[in-house]
Amino acid sequence: MYETLRPLLFRLDPETAHHLTLALLKWGGDAAPTREMLRGMFCVDDARLHVNAFGLEFKNPVGLAAGYDKNGIAVRGLAALGFGHIEVGTVTRLPQIGNEKPRVWRVPEARALVNRMGFPNEGVEKLKLPRVDARVGVNIGKGKDTPLENAAEDYVELLRAVHSRADYVAVNVSSPNTHNLRALQTRELIEPLLKQIADARDALSPRVPVLVKIAPDLSFDEIDGIVDAARDVNFDGIIATNTTVSREDIPEYAKHFGGGMSGEPLRARATQIIHHICETTRGEFPIIGVGGIGDANSALEKLRAGATLIQIFTGMIYRGPRLVKEINQALLGGA
């Protein structure tokens, strides 16, 4: 079905196509008959796929990465596509419109996307978090106008606002599209930031797992610093990785697109980082592996490198929702 739909969607500019598919998923997910139809087409329910991570049971390891459903409007439809978890957001405290358009580009030859969205979202008050039979994480970010020195207040406020409804919270310090955000990954800033978030989490009931999402453009030394800081304050895991500012392995015409690149050109670097974190932590720190998963093999590559869970975004744009089913079936050892 997606083979028929994709050429039509790819005639539209990427953001319009995205809004359209999200609207279809909202519509399909809100009505029971279409939701059940989607479930029948895409869900693979098998106890052998269950994964335990940071105290939660996931029905399978395949999740949707942040940025696809920023306001949580289509969570029911997305759950019906068979994801084990859905990460909504990035959400900020206040609504914001994001960067000027165009701000998403397809690079089909490289199976990549480049985006500089800048967290357009309706703000945490409007975030929808319906209960579904998949885990729902909330990815939180600093507002565009929040100075770096006040960033912790944004994250703590957002954590408090969502903790009772989220299965986990992802702290996004790695988007390249919010000015200075990635500076929060430096050792001097990350330690106090994660500590303040962890302290706030520890004062909340019920306890919600918190994970930090990192950029792929960091050195191993920088990554080690973040992992140490996160483990010191009892963070529950790490999400590796966000989009890259590198423009390697994409055609010349796409090199000037501004923002972060995702998809196949990111795959090897993200896997390398997952492998590195898994080795240095002896597999004791849960990793959600994300970046360039476009088929069952690249999904298995991330899991073999040490990821406990995986996420997809760009792969779904190129391959459609059957990618979720394809990966889950491959994990069961069949077609």
Residues lying near ligand FMN in the complex (CB under 6 A): 65-67, 90, 104, 113, 115, 117, 119, 139, 172, 175, 213, 242-243, 262-263, 266, 290-293, 312-315
Considering the complex, what minimum distance in angstroms separates the CB of residue 104 from ligand FMN? 5
Considering the complex, what minimum distance in angstroms separates the CB of residue 313 from ligand FMN? 3
Q: Report in angstroms the alpha-carbon separations of 97 from 42, 117, 269.
A: 33, 9, 31
Q: What is the DSSP letter of 107?
A: E
Pick between residue 263 and residue 306 the one whose CB is nearest to ligand FMN. 263
Q: Give the residue nearest to ligand FMN (CB).
A: 67
Q: Of the residues 164, 174, 175, 219, which is catalytic?
A: 175
Considering the complex, what minimum distance in angstroms separates the CB of residue 36 from ligand FMN? 28
Known active-site residue 174? no
Q: Where are the beta strands (DSSP E) in the chain?
A: 51-53, 56-58, 62-64, 85-91, 104-107, 112-115, 135-140, 168-172, 210-214, 237-240, 260-263, 287-290, 309-312
Pick between residue 152 and residue 264 the one whose CB is nearest to ligand FMN. 264
* Phi/psi at 189 (5° precision): -90, -35
User: Are 328 and 299 within 8 A, CB to CB?
Assistant: no
Pick between residue 113 and residue 208 the one whose CB is nearest to ligand FMN. 113
Per-residue tokens: 93: 């405290």
Considering the complex, what minimum distance in angstroms separates the CB of residue 229 from ligand FMN? 19
User: Are 239 and 137 within 8 A, CB to CB?
Assistant: no
Pick between residue 273 and residue 278 the one whose CB is nearest to ligand FMN. 273
Q: Report in angstroms the alpha-carbon separations of 311 from 86, 204, 205, 213, 241.
A: 9, 27, 27, 12, 10
Residues belonging to the active site? 175
